[in-house]
Amino acid sequence: MGQLEMPGDSFMEHDAVFRFHCTHAETLYRSLSPEMASELHPRSKAECSLEAPNVLVLKVHAMDISALRAALNMWLRLVQVADEMQALAHHTREE
């Protein structure tokens, strides 16, 4: 994966890519999209996309390992919360 330019000509040096295979990938994507639109971090950048109908891809790029760790903590937690809310909504509908 190539390096991305950040504002101010800083370069990304660390990348992490996660693929979540699940039946509700599109719902997770829609849940994360507002967070992606408002993301403004000087040392990291995240991208979210649908690779296939059931595959959510989360890419996190950071200038240093500390920024990568912090960004991963945030984005993976947001994915987890969105997944838990999806499960709760599905369970509630079944009752």
Q: Work out the mean pLDDT of the chain and round it to a whole number.
A: 86
Domains, the chain: 13-94 (3.30.310.50)
Q: Is the dihedral of CA 23, 28, 30, 33 positive or negative?
A: negative
The predicted model scores a pTM of 0.79
pLDDT of residue 2: 40
Distances (CA, A) of 26 to 15, 43, 78: 23, 28, 15
- The confidence score (pLDDT) of residue 36 equals 86
> What pLDDT score does 6 carry?
45
- Is it the case that residue 71 has pLDDT exceeding 50? yes
pLDDT above 70 for 54: yes
pLDDT for 11 equals 61
Q: pLDDT at residue 1 above 50? A: no
